[in-house]
Amino acid sequence: MKMFVYSYRPFDEAAYFEAFGKEYGIQIGWTTQPPTPENARLAEGSQALSVLTTVVDEPLLRQFRQMGIKLISTRTIGYDHIDTKAASQLGIHVSNASYTPECVADYTIMLMLMAIRKMKRIMQRAEINDFTLKGIQGSVLSSHTVGIVGTGKIGRMVAKFLSGFGCRVYACDPIQDPQTTRYAQYTDLEGIFEKCSIITLHMPLTQDNFHMINKESISRMKEGVVLINTARGSLIDTNALIQGLEEGKIGAAALDVVENEFQMYYYDRKSDLLNHRELSILRGFPNVIVTPHMAFYTDRSVSDMVECSVKALWLMEQGKPNPWQVV
């Protein structure tokens, strides 16, 4: 069995691909580049591909199908960068990855604390030896009511962590998780908007929740609400977010993901002119923290993601159920 790995990172993934390749009897080929029509031929002779958050659209899928690719495994929880409808029609399986939820939950709590303690401005001032206090007074987390939208593994863990800070926690999800009810009270989305001074998002991106945070929903939130997003950028309408910040309706935002981040995050773009006006505007606000999709990034999660990707091919070849299969 052979798997070809795109967007391979020698500095952190190599040892894991080597170890899990040996464990599951899979030969690994790789390139550091993302999949494109020009380099698709590199995967010839492979049964599966492993990719990251780069667009895999229908034309590219057709190329891979002609080469005999039967599985595309993304080393991410989200899989909205893959045209799953086209993959299904072409007979290509798609699977994602899972990793310990603590890594993103930890990061989410960190972003909350940084946002309400105005840490971005504090650090900026410290860099230029401005040690004054005016304008950087923060608040304590226990004084906030936090709304968690999406209570899968990560959202559930965030609720558990928040319980230790003594703040009131509400949760919203079509499926109420019994474990989460130990730490949070379930309500509907309207209840989250009405009651919560901090709102954090923890769900996959779907057609139904695209831009769920928009001009209209922001208008129904509390004055000075703090928005946290470590899930998917397109859950938030960026222009509506910017308007809310400019008008003071949104008191702060901490974003590990943004819309249209493909071909930007995880690349060295320091000498490039980024075609991302909204990102430039967001980074200019003193009350907005933007990090480059890093919430997952720990040693344990990298190992988990690589193993999920490699094991998916092994399971398919063995005819065994693949818990990460989405198509």
Catalytic residues: 232, 261, 293
* Three-state SS sequence of the chain: CEEEECCCCCCCCHHHHHHHHHHHCCEEEECCCCCCCCCHHHHCCCCEEEECCCCECHHHHHHHHHCCCCEEEECCCCCCCECHHHHHHHCCEEECCCCCCHHHHHHHHHHHHHHHCCHHHHHHHHHCCCCCCCCCCCCCHHHCEEEEECCCHHHHHHHHHHHCCCCEEEEECCCCCCCHHHCCEECCHHHHHHHCCEEEECCCCCCCCCCCECHHHHHCCCCCEEEEECCCHHHECHHHHHHHHHHCCEEEEEECCCCCCCCCCCCCCCCCCCCCHHHHHHHHCCCEEECCCCCCCCHHHHHHHHHHHHHHHHHHHHCCCCCCECC
Q: In sequence order, what are the residues at sequence separation of 6 or more whose Cβ sits closer than 8 angstroms to the Cβ of residue 234?
A: 80, 205, 210, 211, 259
Q: How far is CA 221 from the centre of its chain?
A: 23
User: HSE on the CB side for 120, CA within 13 Å?
Assistant: 18
